Structure 1
Amino acid sequence: MTKSVLVIGGSGGIGSALAQHYAATASVVTVISRQKAPTQNSWHWFEDTLQSPAHSAQCVQLALEQRPEVIFICNGVLHDAAAMPEKTIRQLDTAILMQRLHANVAVPAQYLQLLFSYITKTAGVKVVVLSAKVGSITDNALGGWYSYRMSKAALNMLVKNISIEVRRLNPSAVVVSVHPGTTNTAMSEPFQTNLPPGQLQSAANTAERLAQVVAAVQPEQSGKLLNWDAKALPF
């Protein structure tokens, strides 16, 4: 049983479901989020608006006082009020691309940097970074979604890179990126039409599947991009 878990980006659909899942198993739950803590909340909650590197570092330092064995990084943006995913390169806006790279790569990179000392010194720690199958270059047969695909491909490289560095210092640690599957959240809502039966999962089901991946993942899998069923996906 996981005694302590840290969920970074814990107010989103999957992040909050993960926090609820582990809380139900009597784990100590710590959340770092840009949002304020809910009124009714028994978790350790640290609000990080990402406005100051020093404040982010303080939030991480306080969160690590709970000695998490499992750390989820759930930050990411597919679409927002500014833009939907591009269907053609003619729609590519470099300003939007930079926003997606910041949300999907720079923010997780910042947290991984702040976590690095803890990850390299904590035996058996497992770090799961939520990514996306569409970030696989090898698997891409449809094209489109330029900003999101590029940012998630870069995120997968980030995870691969840090896993190599961590392995040199702490061979028992695991750092993986995971495709959580299509989940019924605000992120996927505009794209849920005509999905095959059974593909769309509730956030609670996704959280349970991710917890199963965490329970089974081993150090020799560190650096891989895993599917929600724990199978390795191509980069």
Structure 2
Amino acid sequence: MSASVLIIGGSSGIGLALAQHYAAEDASVTVISRQAKPAQLPYHWYQDSLNNEADSEHAVKQALAQQPDTIFICNGVLHDDSAMPEKTIRQLDCTVLMQRLQANVAVPALYLKLLFAYLCKRPAVKLLVLSAKVGSITDNALGGWYSYRVSKAALNMLVKNCSIEVSRLNKTATLVSLHPGTTDTPLSAPFQANLPAGQLQSTTQTAQRLAAVAAALQPLQTGALLNWDGTVLPF
């Protein structure tokens, strides 16, 4: 039986690269996205505007009909036209903070809620939520980036919490947060100039690395924050 993969937030960047990677491996690929399906893509595609929970529930229900064994949640925002990451708390705008919490925590939380029943019954299901190393409280030695760090730290707790609840009902399930590494996408574009040689990866390279992590996941790892190479990062 070929693999079945669901990618939430799969219309661009790492999410789209994951869809392309798994399609090339002859997996059944399902995408949930705010965007309409582009022409000629060979994926199951369900549009979710995120305007209300009922619409999201309908999109998830359709996607789960494909019986995915691996699920990625790729939603997230670091910066946009209205704001860049803060260098100091003096730059903190609480409106921006709430926007980052909405994009980086509330949206994944909604999908985890809608996926919960499936995660509790699907044997050996794997769910990987794209997070960030800067969301590690223990690893934080630089400060700054308040809204992004706070939202990603909260996301890591969200996944940890949900993993505990799922494991009570499905010992074979694995839920993890995953730092994808610095990838050449619009998210990282303003911060690429001073990167060490070799640190920046293409979306194709990142997708290959994350798929390898997914393939190697074991239930004992559930709840962990993992690096792009599968090593455990501190919370």
- On whether the aligned pair clears a TM of 0.5, the verdict is yes
Map 1:20-39; keep pairs closer than 5 Å.
Answer: 20-39=20-39
The 1:97/1:2 distance shift into structure 2, 3 A limit, reads: farther
Alignment length, in residue pairs? 235
3-state SS of paired residue (1:158): helix
Q: Which AA in structure 2 matches 1:18?
A: L
Matched, 1:87 2:81: no
Query: Any conservation in 2 of the 1:2–1:70 contact (CA below 8 Å)?
Result: no
Equivalent residue, structure 2, for 1:78: 78
Over residues 30-51 of structure 1, what are the superposed CA-to-partner deviations in whole Å (9 max), with x where a residue is unaligned? 0000011001211000110100
Match of 1:185 in 2: 185
Secondary structure of the residue aligned to 1:112 is helix
Structure 2 residue runs of 5 or longer lacking an equivalent are none
Indicate the residue corresponding to 1:231 in structure 2.
Answer: 231
Check whether the contact 1:131–1:178 (CA below 8 A) recurs between aligned residues: yes
Task: Specify the code of the residue in structure 2 equivalent to 1:154.
Answer: A
Residues 146-174 of structure 1 deviation map (CA, whole Å, 9 limit, x = unaligned): 00000000000000000000110000000
Pairs within 5 Å for 1:3-22: 3-22=3-22
Q: Specify every segment of 5 or more residues in structure 1 that has no aligned partner in the other structure, as ranges.
A: none
How do residues 46-195 of structure 1 correspond to structure 2 at under 5 angstroms? 46-195=46-195
- Structure 1 residue runs of 4 or more that deviate by more than 4 Å after TM superposition: none
Deviation at 1:2, TM superposition (A): 5.6
TM-score (norm 1): 0.99
Shift of 1:12: 2.4
Identity %: 69
Q: Are the equivalent residues in 2 in contact too, given 1:7–1:19 (CA < 8 A)?
A: yes
Q: 1:83 to 1:128 in 2, by over 3 A?
A: same
Q: Residues of 2 paired with 1:12 and 1:52: CA distance?
A: 22
Report the Cα distance in structure 2 between the residues aligned to 1:159 and 1:97, rounded to whole angstroms: 20
Q: Which residue of 2 aligns with 1:202?
A: 202
Question: 1:18·1:207 contact (CA, 8 Å) conserved in 2?
Answer: yes
1:95 maps to amino acid: T
Q: CA RMSD in A?
A: 0.8
